[in-house]
Amino acid sequence: MKLKTLLCTALITPSFAFAARPFVTDDARLTTGGSCQLESWMRVYPGNTELWALPACNPTGNLEFTFGGGQAKSQGEQATNDYLFQAKTLFRPLETNGWGWGLAVGTIRHPEINPGPNMFGNTYAYIPLSISLYDDKIIVHANLGWLKDKESGLHSASWGIGGEFKLRPKLLGIAETYGDNRGMSYGQVGVRYSVVPDIFQVDATVGQQLSGEGNSRWVSFGIRYTPDRLF
């Protein structure tokens, strides 16, 4: 897989990144108010790897800022770096047996490569919607978004829908599908395990492209660290 193709699939982690690991589809929740968190993960394709680290802080309680980056490396080609800034707020926080929604806007920069027509684009916005069922045993997330690619000037619509399912007190199953209005769609399933509930989690997924040009497949492994109030 050539690097440009890798980026068009690896960076499909779409305009509604960055959800709570291991989701791509975002939720109507924020990191702890007055604190910060770190999400980091590795995504492995046949012959290719990408690494991400995304710190996020919520200084006011209802305005979360994410700033971080990632690196993609294809065998035999030079690695490329990408940098992201995102702001997210909620108009209705998600509650048990209720629903919530919000708004996120962000930008992504590809300083070493032509961005190309990928879902990540350069500027994006999306609405996350979440619904809690059966005392949080099932939580459904849906996203609807927009993005503009700086290089081509193209505007695209993005979408995602996913669910988290409580399998054990510390273990969640996840399943989701996401894509855009240009015929690209992807899906993944996985698990999230709370090593220390509400503070430290690990996760793993397997996924593949469902439609559109290409036939990407991947596995991912990630962590999420959310300490108690810091300031």
The CATH number assigned to the domain holding 127 equals: 2.40.160.40
Whether 176 is in a domain gets the answer yes
Read off the pLDDT of each residue in 86-90 and give the average, rounded to a whole number.
97
pLDDT of residue 18: 58
**Pair 205, 219: CB distance under 8 Å:** yes
pTM of the full predicted structure?
A: 0.87
Q: Is 93 part of a structural domain of the chain?
A: yes
- What does DSSP say about strands 99-109 and 80-92: parallel, antiparallel, or unpaired? antiparallel
Q: Is residue 231 part of a domain?
A: no
The residue-averaged pLDDT of 43-63 equals 93
Mean pLDDT of 83-98: 96
**Averaged pLDDT for residues 103-114:** 78
pLDDT of residue 175: 97
Average pLDDT of span 81-103: 95
pLDDT at residue 32 greater than cutoff 80:
yes
What pLDDT score was predicted for residue 19? 67
The yes-or-no verdict on residue 164 having pLDDT over 80 is yes
Per-residue pLDDT tens digits for 114-136: 444 344 458 899 999 999 999 99
Q: Other CB atoms closer than 10 Å to residue 106's CB: what's the count?
A: 24
Flag whether 10 is in a domain. Answer: yes
Residue 7: pLDDT band with limits 50, 70, 90: very low
The verdict on residue 230 lying in a domain is no
The tally of domains found in the chain comes to 1
Measure the N-to-C terminal CA separation of the chain; round to a whole number of Å.
45
Domain that holds residue 135: 3-225
Q: Using the predicted structure, report yes or no on whether residue 162 has a pLDDT greater than 90.
A: yes
Please give the residue that has the higher pLDDT: either 47 or 41: 41
143 domain residue, yes or no: yes
| Residue 42 and residue 21 in contact, taking contact as beta carbons nearer than 8 Å | no
Whether residue 112 has pLDDT greater than 90 = no
Nearest-angstrom CA–CA distance, 154 and 181: 12
Average pLDDT, the chain: 86
